[in-house]
Amino acid sequence: MTRCADSIVARAFFGGRALLSAIPKLRIGVALISALLVAACATLPDLSGYTAATVEVRQSVATAKRAVGDEIDNAAEVVLSEPAHGQIVQAASDYDAAMAKTVTAMDAMVDYAESIESIAAAGNKGKESALAVSQQVQDLAGMLGVPLAPAAAAIDAISQTGAFIYGEIAKIEAAKSLEAALAASGPSIVRLQQLVSLQIADSRRAFENSLRAQERALKRPEAYGAHITLAEQLDSQERSTVNALTGELASPAPNAATVATLRANLKTIATDRTSIAPRIAEYEAKRAEIGARRKTGNALLTASTAALEAWSTAHAKLVSAIRNRQSFTMASLNAAVSDIRELIKKWEAL
């Protein structure tokens, strides 16, 4: 029996031993109460796994930020024609700003996890623990740049989140245990995670803007635009020539001269297509490279969002772990981190 349970049961037993000796049935009740008190006062689970997993998420998201950011920066160095160059430079700036907020948010989430771990390590101190959790939620919101204010001030996603958490703080502080405080803080953690996910969505838009600018640059006349236009013209000429030749050959009395001319035109079209084939192949290869980067880059950003969602879900597991005094695993969170790492490998191989 823990020191907490020993103390409580001892006071209950010695204070009422006369009554217990007179009423034997109550001994069974005290035995049951003793067992319940042992469970209630059991050591809280080790939450270091939550902190470690949060650190892993932070590092993985930061690596993803650098990987995709480097791609946009490299594109700005390669694509020098205007307006594409200016558009890519702007996309790079927008991406860096959005992802910088995300990494800062991840730093705050690490601080939050470490603080919750410390609160749990100190033991369940009832109201004191609840107030400590409330303070950590407020600190997390502050580090994410979320001002806590009444709903009347809510005009955008950040202020709406602040208004929501403002209304939840009283619920957290009203809790009478660490478990209840963490449970009450759950909705606020989800809202903060959703706000960070919006930052990643901003990063995705900037990344896509960069890719589209690169695709437009490929189609400029001084790049592959003239060859693309010629290829389209040749395709159109070939279709009309084939249709004309088919119609002539299907007539009751095909005109030999017309057939010869049409066939000669088809040979000229084929020769012209062959002459531009290398440039068209280069264009298609570069477009395919952009497509591959788009697919993997978006997958990286999607995986980063999934990792954030797994983090807020893992927070809910803390409540169950503390309630049942059981250890818990970060399987889903660790899996999300592994997904990011695998995608980074694919990105580096492009």
DSSP state at residue 253: S
The pLDDT of residue 36 is: 40
The pLDDT of residue 40 is: 45
Domain coordinates of the chain in residue numbers? Answer: 43-222+275-349
3-class DSSP string for 116-159: HHHHHHCCCCCHHHHHHHHHHHHHHHHHCCCCCCCHHHCCCHHH
The pLDDT of residue 8 is: 41
CB atoms under 10 Å from CB of 250, counted, come to 8
Residues of the chain short of pLDDT 50, as ranges, are 1-40
The pLDDT of residue 67 is: 86
The pLDDT of residue 345 is: 86
The pTM score is 0.78
Using an 8 Å Cβ cutoff, are 228 and 280 in contact? yes
Coil, strand or helix at 295: helix
The pLDDT of residue 25 is: 46
Residue 254 sits at the vertex; the CA angle it makes with 252 and 256, to the nearest 5 degrees, is 160
The pLDDT of residue 154 is: 63
